[in-house]
């Protein structure tokens, strides 16, 4: 009897996303459900479609960005550890071919990975229970008095490494959703945003990722938790079904999300590929 691979709805959904990604590889356009589409323009990172390796035991998907001195990333999918070496060789080869400075390998890892490093993928499911609004000094940025709003500039500059300076430029041009801010002594000391709900690849409403930061000197006072809970309340109140978050393993945001009961879906680990390993 001929054996056929069982195709599940989840597998079908992944195949559709994969096909969509390849179709968009040459156009530079964003997919309708790409989280970066909200910023406008053209997508900087593109899939190197002709160099994709798709075998029964592993798949390698290389991407190229010209930002800065340029980087090739190879996303390596496969159970055998040798897939990392194969991906590193491909990354170095393509980096040389495209004359860029960086070559990296990104490998997804299962939730059961022992002693994980890198980035944790976490799920907030809004359908499992209410997300009440927290009590505390958190409100939409535009709801603060003008004098308090003016303090967002030095706050954003101080937290530029966390993306707040970029977020501030978008806020000034009114090209993003609302931002929630925490204040202490009439100064902005924390923020999370933009708050936006968009459909995913299957049409389900998801709360998009936010920039999230609290000044180091006021950490440990619960302001980060207040901001996060206010954001979750906003998302649920605006019809989001879920949110996916990426947090640095054992970092402050990671510990916060774990303590709030989010489900860990797995990890991604990024390594540098030696540039001299290609033929």
pTM above 0.85, yes or no: no
**Can you tell me the distance from the alpha carbon of 225 to that of 135, in angstroms, rounded to the nearest whole number?**
11
Find how far residue 21's CA is from the centre of its chain: 17
pLDDT tier at 26, thresholds 50, 70, 90 = low
Length of the chain: 279
**Can you tell me the distance from the alpha carbon of 208 to that of 271, in angstroms, rounded to the nearest whole number?**
26
Two structure tokens written together for 221: 């006072």
**Is residue 212 within 8 Å of 227, Cβ to Cβ?**
yes
**Is residue 2 within 8 Å of 9, Cβ to Cβ?**
no
CB atoms within 10 A of CB 214: 26
Q: What is the pLDDT of residues 118-129, one digit of tens each?
A: 999 999 999 999
Q: For 33-60, what is the mean pLDDT?
A: 79
pLDDT tier at 115, thresholds 50, 70, 90 = confident
Residue with structure tokens 């489900």? Answer: 263
Share of the chain above pLDDT 90, in %: 71
- Chosen CATH of 128-240 out of 3.40.630.30, 3.40.50.620, 3.40.50.1820, 3.20.20.70: 3.40.630.30
**Can you tell me the distance from the alpha carbon of 146 to that of 36, in angstroms, rounded to the nearest whole number?**
30
Q: For 36-41, what is the mean pLDDT?
A: 61
> Quick check: bond before 98 cis, omega within 30?
no
pLDDT tier at 7, thresholds 50, 70, 90 = very low
- Which has the minimum average pLDDT: 4-8, 218-222, 251-255? 4-8
Q: For 79-89, what is the mean pLDDT?
A: 92
Q: What is the pLDDT of residues 168-211, one digit of tens each?
A: 999 998 778 999 999 999 999 999 999 999 998 889 999 999 99
Question: Domain extents for the chain?
Answer: 9-116, 128-240
């Amino acid at each position: 009897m001929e054996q056929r691979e069982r195709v599940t709805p989840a597998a079908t959904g992944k195949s559709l996303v994969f096909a969509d990604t390849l179709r968009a590889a040459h156009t530079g356009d964003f997919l309708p459900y790409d989280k970066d589409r909200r910023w406008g323009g053209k997508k900087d990172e593109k899939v190197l479609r002709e160099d994709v390796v798709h075998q029964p035991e592993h798949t390698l998907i290389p991407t190229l960005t010209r930002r800065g001195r340029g980087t090739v990333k190879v996303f390596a999918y496969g159970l055998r550890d040798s897939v990392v070496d194969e991906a590193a060789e491909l990354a170095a080869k393509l980096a040389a071919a495209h004359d860029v400075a960086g070559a990296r390998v990104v490998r997804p890892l299962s939730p059961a990975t022992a002693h994980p490093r890198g980035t944790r993928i976490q799920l907030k499911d809004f359908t499992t229970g209410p997300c009440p609004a927290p009590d505390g000094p958190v409100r939409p940025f535009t709801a603060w008095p003008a004098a308090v709003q003016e303090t967002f500039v030095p706050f954003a500059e101080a937290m530029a490494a966390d993306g707040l300076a970029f977020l501030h430029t978008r806020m000034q041009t009114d090209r993003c959703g609302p931002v929630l801010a925490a204040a202490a002594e009439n100064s902005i000391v924390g923020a999370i945003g933009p708050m936006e709900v968009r459909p995913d690849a299957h049409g389900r409403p998801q709360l998009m990722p936010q920039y999230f930061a609290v000044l180091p000197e006021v950490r440990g006072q619960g302001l980060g938790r207040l901001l996060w809970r206010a954001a979750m309340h906003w998302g649920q109140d605006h019809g989001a079904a879920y949110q996916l978050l990426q947090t640095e393993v054992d970092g402050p945001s990671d510990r916060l999300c774990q303590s709030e009961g989010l489900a860990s879906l797995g990890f991604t680990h990024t390594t540098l590929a030696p540039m001299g390993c290609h033929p």
